Structure 1
């Protein structure tokens, strides 16, 4: 993949999810692996953009990218997070890193830029849980200081109190899940009425801190966070961390197909999956 083609693919991603929206205080976003080569050495075949979308860049996904002849992986979660002091073959992440570079595959990670974006993953979750139900309002929990409608988390007010069971069904449909976890507010049952919903893709504990809502909807919470919300009168829906993000890859696929040059390929990984299963 030539440098120009890498730039074209990265620009397409950043059009929808600008890197300035990412939380730079802790997140590691952007082009984390640049395996491009000089224009002079490129061939016509190399110039076709082949993108593989995934939430996590596991060894199986890396092998899938090689088999598909992908030249860019867009991995939602940062593939490189902590600083590397050496690169070897004993660590699975580093082994994949070496393999990807050998095969000329670059890696771009947008992460919290997608979390923050207007119309990004958190709005996708809000649309899914409230489908068929009118919203009175939708607000960003942690507002971006520069971009209107952007920031971490969402909180929605429903125009009509809705049974929890209906909202659980909506989540299952929107995320394509057959099972999820629900923690009922103290003294309530699955039909109790919900008027306000706080939402955060991935891990919501930090974003939810200090919020009041009838229902908290996220990928994961710690045991003590869950107990606190229950004891203070809120119910919880958790779906496992990456399950709140994976369905949104379909939207990203559509966006990139529209934006990239004609003939480009954008595939969603068939090997990417949440590490936890319900047996």
Structure 2
């Protein structure tokens, strides 16, 4: 007897998912962390932030399933464990301030205990993903319409050029003095000799260029001040870290075509899948006022947006007084609640990480992660 099996679309998707999952390989945790850093370097994060691997199971640890969430709550942790996750990527760091105890008393301590007991790692990129060219703020800008954008506060390269913070240049008149200067410089830590140049006018002179740290600079100047007969024509230059293209906090976006404030509100609500946003009208503005320049910052924008010239500020939250300051200058302010300006990015992140990791592991989104605030 022949039996017929009816395959529904849901069944087909489940079978496809199982086939794809079984065909994926594991990645060693350290290899995966290195790849994640290649995708968006943790050096881009703000100095006050707590990013990277926050909870590490005892090695060796391999990852088959990477679980993405905006906030790691106890409800989300339960979901991650049910889905057999090996590493949780939580955009917001669940451990921000130091924990003095690991007990069952507070929810954050319980997260750490559950992660370790179930051999699940926890990783947070937070502001590194804010600053990245393909990160959260760039995703938020996609909802505005066709525009050009640049970071409000550009990121700088991780290292100073040529390994120092300052450059010292001076001339030495004789070979005897030159040997003594070079010998003394080599005794100073965190310093490098970048160039020599010799020229002869009435007398031979050698121009020395040094790159050094702030501390080394003080030692160099102390040596030179004690041996004034050795040198002349001294210059001290401050070396700045070079900016990174399209990388940094916030975005200043210029629309190709101006749109009314009412139109911008509808675009933003549609992009963030929100029924409501909060609006502060700038002084003298109406819903029909044109918007050409938008300054935005995912999450909390008070500091990043302060003082920026724009027609509209878009962020998750701002302090009451910062909203008043902006409105008094004729700047409209749209607030969407903190994580509503971030969470939608995770869908794009899943696709980008899948391509970056060559689909070697299973990447899933939390279905229980949500903004804690609701409009009722």
TM-score, structure 1 as length reference: 0.90
SS of the aligned residue for 2:156 comes to coil
1:149 to 246, 262, 270: 246
Name the residue aligned to 2:342. Answer: 245
Q: Deviations over 1:39-81 (max 9, x none)?
A: 7xxxxxxx55101100111001111111111000000011111
1:56 to 71, 75, 79: 71
Counting strand residues as a fraction of each chain, which structure ranks higher?
2
Deviation, 1:100, is 1.0
Name the residue aligned to 1:228. Answer: 325
Cα RMSD (Å): 1.7
Q: Which moved further from structure 2: 68-77 or 15-24? A: 15-24
Verify the 8 A CA contact 2:27 2:360 in the aligned structure 1.
no
Verify the 8 A CA contact 2:281 2:327 in the aligned structure 1.
yes
Cα 1:85–1:216 change in 2 (3 A) is same
Deviation, 1:261, is 5.4
SS of the aligned residue for 1:191 comes to coil
How many pairs align? Answer: 265
Name the residue aligned to 1:11. Answer: 34
Name the residue aligned to 1:43. Answer: none
1:100 to 115, 138, 146: 115
Verify the 8 A CA contact 2:316 2:335 in the aligned structure 1.
yes
Please say if 1:84 is aligned against 2:99. Answer: yes
Deviation, 1:210, is 1.7
Q: Which moved further from structure 2: 4-13 or 222-231? A: 4-13
Q: Which moved further from structure 2: 6-15 or 187-196? A: 6-15
1:140 to 135, 145, 151: 151
Name the residue aligned to 1:65. Answer: 80
Name the residue aligned to 2:316. Answer: 219
Please say if 1:29 is aligned against 2:51. Answer: yes
TM-score, structure 2 as length reference: 0.68
Name the residue aligned to 1:42. Answer: none
Q: Deviations over 1:145-188 (max 9, x none)?
A: 22221010111122332101111111112112121111111232
1:164 to 261, 264, 278: 261
Q: How many Å separate the matches in 1 of 2:156 and 2:143? A: 26
| Structure number with bigger Rg | 2
Q: How many Å separate the matches in 1 of 2:116 and 2:267? A: 41
1:200 to 290, 297, 308: 297
